[in-house]
Structure 1
Amino acid sequence: MSSESDEPVRQRLTRAEAKARTRRLLLDAAARVFARKGFTGASVEEIAETAGFSIGALYSNFNGKEALFLELMAERGLGRVAEAAQTLDRHEAGTGEAAAELGRLLVHVADKDIDFAPLQAEFWLYAVRNPHVLDTMAGALRAPRQELEGLVATWLTEQGAPSEVGADAVATVVAALFQGLVRLRRVDPDSVPEELFGQALRWLFTGIGAAPDRDRPAPEEPAS
């Protein structure tokens, strides 16, 4: 089993840097083991060995494989929101270019990131069967959800959406749409063409933009 000192370093790491490096190596090892064995089949012993650490080192950084998996899930979620934000930095929201690029993002996740989508489904089923995990799962996903809400809030402002439309609710719909289409494409790729996700977002935000704002005074009826 290797140790942290096996790799040459230019200078001595601080305690915080060494801890961050250990956590990173454990997370990377966990991702590989989960991909091979699934969440249920993976063991903390194999994850620690793959990372080159003892079980004690793993438990000094994570409570167990649930915590490892949830941190990986949150990282993936943040990464996808960041990619969407970069797309909207390059192209104005609601344009065909933005829709096309967001569609390609979904297709990449569905077709290339072939290990993690099934793992998410497996962990969701595990959490449902172990209700004590659900609150922990919700907490771990709070950061990517908040990032998505911020992105959605910008979209709503640009669309001139009614004030009663909450970014949190719309973010929930967008996340569910993305996750659902990823799973459906894995099952039936022809039913989810590359352009569908972008089109669906345009339909969603066009409908929101057309909704009446209850805070605005209704137009006066013309005098008869």
Structure 2
Amino acid sequence: MAERLTRREQQERNRVRLLLAAERVFAREGITKGTLDDVAREAGLTKGAVYSNFDGKEDLITQVIRHRSDGPEQTRFAGILADGGLSPAERVDAWGREWVRVASSGERYDFAWVLIEFILLGRHQPAVRAQLAELYADSARDSAEYIRRLVPEGSGLAGLPDTSVTRLFNALDLGVALVNMADPAGAPLDLYRVALRLLAGLPPEPEAPEPAAPERDA
């Protein structure tokens, strides 16, 4: 029996389909070349469905970025912070490994291309720059609390304002992704995990456990 959805549920489902389709189209074709017709066709919907959910291309791209920022992967990061069985150093390592896993996925790769191109577009379009500034301001406000929980007490970051800390994390996220796209072999994604440890005041790699003392014959 087919699932029956309310009008609101169907609209939300279509909205998500359009967001995911837009991410694929703009990553594949580029923001300038990709069109709203392309997005509608990719999603299997009409162009009218695009305009009933978004004000235009720039609004659609902005919502793609917001959708990723609020997506399921953020729930997994929140779970790491909520795990009371992890030490501060273990929490940093778990966060770094999860970032590498997510960044290695195909969808996240598409998203990174879209975000980077949107940032470059903002160089010549003040309206896009304003949207990006609003996005990053919202991100700094929304993520400040859990970023603080990630930073161990006594680290160099502990004395910085929340906005500065979250912007540093934004820069690390985007910077490692960008150089990895240009030089995957020379700049592996695991650099994020290493840099995260350094920012948190930890050594680049976890200390190896001391070898167990050999048993002596009685």
Shorter-chain TM range is 0.7 to 0.9
Establish whether residue 188 from structure 1 lines up as the match of residue 183 from structure 2: yes
Query: Within 2, Cα distance between the matches of 1:187 and 1:94?
Result: 32
Alignment of 1:96-115 (within 5 A): 96=90, 98-99=92-93, 101-103=95-97, 105-106=99-100, 108-109=102-103, 112=106, 113-115=108-110
Q: TM-score, normalised by structure 2?
A: 0.74
Deviation at 1:55, TM superposition (A): 2.3
Moved over 6 A (4+): none
Offset, 1:164: 4.8
Amino acid of the structure 2 residue aligned with 1:197:
Y
Question: Which amino acid in 2 is paired with 1:159?
Answer: E
TM-score normalised per structure 1: 0.73
2:77 paired with 1:84: yes
CA contact (8 A) 2:22 2:61 kept: yes
Aligned residue in 1 for 2:127: 132
- Give the equivalent residue in structure 2 for 1:222: none
Question: What residue ranges of structure 2 are gaps of 5+ in the alignment?
Answer: 203-218
Q: Distance in 1 between matches of 2:187 and 2:86?
A: 24
Distance 1:35 1:166 in 2: 34
Over the matched positions of the two proteins, sequence identity in percent amounts to 29
Mapped contact 1:88–1:98 kept (Cα < 8 A)? no
Q: Within 5 A, what are the aligned runs for 1:24-63? A: 24-63=16-55
CA shift in 2, pair 1:165/1:109, >3 Å: same
Query: Does structure 2 retain, via aligned residues, the 8 Å contact 1:103–1:196?
Result: no
User: Per the alignment, do residues 67 and 82 of structure 1 end up closer, same or farther by CA in structure 2, a change over 3 Å counting?
Assistant: same
Higher helix share: 1
Q: Compute the RMSD of aligned alpha carbons.
A: 2.9
Contact 2:27 2:110 in 1 (8 A): yes
Question: Structure 1 residues 97 and 160, CA, compared in 2 at 3 Å: closer, same or farther?
Answer: closer
**Alignment: residue pair count:** 198
* Paired position in structure 1 for 2:67: 75
Which of 164, 170, 173 aligns to 2:165? It is 170
Q: Deviations over 1:114-169 (max 9, x none)?
A: 3222222211111221111222223344444333212122234x515697532221
- SS at 1:50's partner residue? helix
Question: Structure 1 residues 170 and 37, CA, compared in 2 at 3 Å: closer, same or farther?
Answer: same
Question: In the superposition, relative to structure 1, how do residues 96 and 22 fare at CA in structure 2: closer, same or farther (>3 Å)?
Answer: closer
